[in-house]
Amino acid sequence: MLNFDFHNPTQIVFGKNRIADIGKLVPADAKVLILVGGASAEKTGTLGEVREALGARPNSTFNGIEPNPSFETVMKAVEQVREGDFNFLLAVGGGSVIDAAKFIAAAVPFEGDPWTILLKRGSNIKSALPFGTVLTLPATGSEMNNGSVITRRDIGAKLPFRSRHVFPLFSVLDPTKTYTLPTQQIANGVVDAFVHTVEQYLTYPVNAPVQDRFAESLLQTLVEVGPRLLSATEPDYDDRASLMWTATLALNGLIGAGVPQDWATHMIGHELTALHNIDHARTLAIVLPSMLNERRVQKHHKLLQYGERVWGIQSGTDDERITAAIDKTRDFFERMGIPTRLSAYGLAADAIDVVIRQLEEHGMTKLSERGDVTPEVSRRVLEAAL
């Protein structure tokens, strides 16, 4: 096992009817700016419940954080916080609203140009406003981690940052708040959580059996509940709860502690979202199967373990078993209604050059757990995903 630090200060408040607890979690003297996306939080009644829970605390709402939140939008919120002297943020939404909250929290007290937070991947953040979250879309794990991804539309750059200062203080996870999600977003959530787990598990062995088995249990749970979530005519509380907790555990630092991590699929996926506005999880479903195939030698041992423990593949030569494991992965995404080819989005070979240029532009030239995913390798992965 590799050396590691593990620190996760976010309080999770899980279950039905837990939004009222916000009244106890937000400091009594807070002046709160609530952050929401489009219309969903208002329409579903969640925003109303949040306002009620805040009681007499002065509060206002910043509306309009878009999926894949933009630097342009979050900077408007930064202005509102500064002008209104708000001292607490409350994000109500999915990964986009929570990621936006993290950037806003860090940018408000930041001295200098906040764009450099992204250029320096968060290493220059010295403090941040406190914030809590109410999760309405299980997928990204942002509710219990210190990472965030912000897009600058004018230059088509979608860049991640992280900082120990931007862990949420608390996150309310009420599975019933997911009942209003369109099927497509549920499928996105399953696939995003699946790929987060794979990025931290499917690398090379370092004798970390606990992390491996944790990761395998998350993958098995997603394989089990994913199709049921899609076919259910009425939302099933327990399956929603399983998805919510699985997605949180997939990216709260636990399974990634002490093991090598990949993230090449995510970095290529971010470029596809920035350039073509494809949902985050959908970009991962395009890239991952061909990435696993491209790197089947480097990931040989773990691919065999994954095939056997997650998919029950026990017979055949090593090569056959690895191919079967990758096929099962692709088939799972397709069964979730998520295409695994660029052509499904009308993209052909001529789209690849720009993606590669953007990867180079953003310093993404030595990706993966071994740093061996060069632009040339990324090109082959995308070509195989046509």
Interacting residues with ligand NZQ (CB under 6 A): 37-41, 44, 67-68, 93-97, 99, 136-137, 139-142, 145, 147-149, 177-178, 180-181, 185, 188, 192, 251, 266, 280
Residue 375 binding result from ligand NZQ, Zn ion, none, given CB thresholds of 5 to 8 Å by partner type: none
Closest approach, Cβ 149 to ligand NZQ, in A, equals: 4
Q: How far is CA 322 from CA 295, 304, 318, in A?
A: 11, 6, 6
- What span, in angstroms and rounded, lies between the C-alpha atoms of 65 and 33? 13
Indicate the residue among 57 and 196 with the shorter CB distance to ligand NZQ: 196
Contacting positions for Zn ion (CB under 5 A):
192
Phi then psi dihedrals of residue 135, to 5 deg: -85, 130
Indicate the residue among 196 and 299 with the shorter CB distance to Zn ion: 196
Residue 197 binding result from Zn ion, ligand NZQ, none, given CB thresholds of 5 to 8 Å by partner type: none
Indicate the residue among 99 and 271 with the shorter CB distance to ligand NZQ: 99
Residue 4 CA, chain-centre distance (Å), reads 22
Closest approach, Cβ 96 to ligand NZQ, in A, equals: 3
Indicate the residue among 15 and 300 with the shorter CB distance to ligand NZQ: 15
User: Would you state the structure tokens that stand for residue 299, as one six-digit string?
Assistant: 């990931």
Residue 139 binding result from ligand NZQ, Zn ion, none, given CB thresholds of 5 to 8 Å by partner type: ligand NZQ
User: Would you state the structure tokens that stand for residue 65, as one six-digit string?
Assistant: 């954080």
- What span, in angstroms and rounded, lies between the C-alpha atoms of 56 and 117? 34
Closest approach, Cβ 256 to Zn ion, in A, equals: 13
- What span, in angstroms and rounded, lies between the C-alpha atoms of 234 and 17? 19
Closest approach, Cβ 189 to ligand NZQ, in A, equals: 7
Q: Which residue is nearest to Zn ion (CB)?
A: 192
Indicate the residue among 81 and 181 with the shorter CB distance to ligand NZQ: 181
Query: CB within 8 A of 209, min separation 6: which ones?
Result: none
User: Would you state the structure tokens that stand for residue 264, as one six-digit string?
Assistant: 């090449």
Indicate the residue among 244 and 292 with the shorter CB distance to ligand NZQ: 244
Closest approach, Cβ 287 to ligand NZQ, in A, equals: 12
Closest approach, Cβ 349 to ligand NZQ, in A, equals: 25
Residue 44 binding result from ligand NZQ, Zn ion, none, given CB thresholds of 5 to 8 Å by partner type: ligand NZQ
Residues 33 and 62: beta-carbon distance below 8 Å: yes
In 3D space, the residue among 283, 286, 381 whose CA is nearest the CA of residue 329 turns out to be: 286
In 3D space, the residue among 131, 54, 67 whose CA is nearest the CA of residue 97 turns out to be: 67
Indicate the residue among 285 and 313 with the shorter CB distance to ligand NZQ: 285
Q: Residue 157 is inside which H or E element, if any?
A: strand 157-162
Closest approach, Cβ 38 to ligand NZQ, in A, equals: 3
- What span, in angstroms and rounded, lies between the C-alpha atoms of 285 and 281? 6
Indicate the residue among 192 and 216 with the shorter CB distance to Zn ion: 192
Residue 22 binding result from Zn ion, ligand NZQ, none, given CB thresholds of 5 to 8 Å by partner type: none
Residue 168 binding result from ligand NZQ, Zn ion, none, given CB thresholds of 5 to 8 Å by partner type: none
Burial of 182 (0-12, 13-18, 19+ CB in 10 A): exposed
Phi then psi dihedrals of residue 175, to 5 deg: -60, -25
Indicate the residue among 270 and 299 with the shorter CB distance to ligand NZQ: 270
**Nearest 5°: CA angle at 120, between 118 and 123?**
110
Residue 299 binding result from Zn ion, ligand NZQ, none, given CB thresholds of 5 to 8 Å by partner type: none
Residue 147 binding result from ligand NZQ, Zn ion, none, given CB thresholds of 5 to 8 Å by partner type: ligand NZQ
Sign, CA dihedral 267-269-274-275, equals positive
Closest approach, Cβ 119 to Zn ion, in A, equals: 21
In 3D space, the residue among 301, 133, 80 whose CA is nearest the CA of residue 203 turns out to be: 301
Residue 12 binding result from Zn ion, ligand NZQ, none, given CB thresholds of 5 to 8 Å by partner type: none
- What span, in angstroms and rounded, lies between the C-alpha atoms of 237 and 111? 45
Closest approach, Cβ 63 to ligand NZQ, in A, equals: 9
